[in-house]
Amino acid sequence: MIETVFKTDDLPVADRVDAWREKLSRIHAPVDLVCHPGSDFRTQQRVVRLGSALVWPSVWSPQTVRRTPRLIGRSDPEMVHLSLIIKGSVGFRMGGPDALYGPYELRTNDSSRPYEILMGPRGEVVDAVSVDVPRARLPLSSDDLDRVIGRRMTGQEGVGALLAAFLTTLVDNARSYTAADAPRLETVLLDLLAAVFANGLDAMDRLPAESRRRTLTLRIQAFIRDHLHDPGLTPTAIAAAHHISTSHLHRLFQDRETTVSGWIRQLRLERAREQLADPARSDVPVHLVAVRAGFEHHPVFTRAFRSAYGMSPRDYRRRALLQETGTDRQTTVDSASTRRRPLTGG
């Protein structure tokens, strides 16, 4: 997937503010930029394009971004912006009382209204993941968007947590995706953005049925991952937790190559495999690895693991750890042998 990188450190000091202002203005809408007096102005940004949407992780030194009525009158691309704050604090003004946002809160604005954003008002560096998307790409009415944009929302629970997890995973693994993945990722992003906004209005029923279905599937998948350790994680329990029937749950998984139970088993085996290959967990007994992955009966785990990976869990761990430390161990053995030769040769 195409990813572009911008760093003010790559530019002469005198050119940094103007270059960053131009970059922001191209991504979202024309803005004014003010560097805090006495600060060392630095910013870096990566941009991942998903169709009409842009996702961009960034690191900011203290600075102020303003969109004024004059700039709106000059150009309004009707873009919606959302930022997930990862580190630091962000002050915000947009037609209401001043607000201060902290880690894992979601801050929003749009290009049609004046606003002022204070990055690092306490003098700290701000780390964030932002999204810019055309207003018309969101399946909510203009009135609904006007009502919800600017409200404080959280990225720590509910659909906000789903969006936060999606954004952080996307930017951490951007290089592993290809251009062919962009349409699917864009659909997921737009569904989650719309769900966050609709949830803020307590109006999930206003989303299109297909968007609600995809969002519900994402919620269920996240629920399953969070509860893999629970041996009581069954289709019946999952359906009950999401207030749907088991038949509805199975229909949501119809486009997958496995059943709900099969997907749970697959995830549990993958989790166990990762733990068995981790040198930091080499002293954890295999049966405890199985329990932590959600397998209640060790013989069942061993049979399933052997079927999936062609060897027992113990053999897999032994081979993985040898591959991890084999070179170091061989070097140690060779060194020890060399030291012993004068003694044995005498």
Residues 6-28 pLDDT 10s: 999 999 988 999 999 999 999 99
Q: What is the rounded average pLDDT of the residues 72-84?
A: 96
> β-strand 90-93 against 115-119: which pairing, if any?
antiparallel
- For the ranges 38-52, 205-219, 293-307, the lowest mean pLDDT is seen at 38-52
| Phi-psi map region of 53: left, alpha, beta (phi>0 left; psi -120 to 50 alpha) | beta
Q: How many CA atoms lie within 13 A of 274 on its CB side?
A: 8
Token output for 137? 């790409």
Pick the closest to residue 110 from 56, 155, 149 (CA basis).
149
| Helix (H) or strand (E) segment spanning residue 202 | none
Q: Whole-number mean pLDDT of the chain?
A: 90
| Separation of alpha carbons 36 and 284, rounded Å | 52
What amino acid occupies position 51?
G
> 3-state DSSP: the chain helix, strand, coil percent, rounded to 5?
50, 20, 30
Tokens 């952080």 sit on residue: 168
Backbone angles phi, psi at 119, to 5 degrees: -85, 120
Helix ranges (H only) for 127-234 are 142-148, 158-172, 182-200, 209-226
Tokens of 190: 């737009």
State the pLDDT confidence band at 39, using cuts at 50, 70 and 90: low
Q: What confidence category does residue 336 fall into, taking pLDDT thresholds of 50, 70 and 90?
A: very low
Taking the C-alpha atoms of residue 60 and residue 40, their distance in angstroms, rounded to an integer, is 11
CB neighbour list of residue 78: distance below 8 Å, 6 or more residues apart? 110, 111, 112, 134, 135, 136
Q: Which of 234, 175, 249, 207 is nearest to 5 (CA)?
A: 175
User: Kind and range of the H or E element at 62?
Assistant: none
pLDDT at 37: 64
Q: Render pLDDT for 153-202 as a digit per residue (tens, 0 to 9).
A: 999 999 999 999 999 999 999 888 888 999 999 999 999 999 999 999 99
Give all strands (DSSP E) within 8-140, no chain letters: 32-35, 43-50, 53-60, 63-67, 79-87, 90-93, 99-101, 105-110, 115-119, 126-134
Return the ∠ at Cα 274 (arms to 270 and 279), rounded to 5°. 165
pLDDT, greater one: 218 or 96: 218
Q: List residues bridging with 7 in a β-sheet.
A: 44
pLDDT surpasses 50 at 337: no
How many angstroms separate the Cα of 137 from the Cα of each of 49, 57, 167?
Answer: 15, 21, 18
Q: Which residue has the tokens 């030769």?
A: 341
Q: At what angle do helices 260-276 and 313-345 cross, to 10 degrees?
A: 10
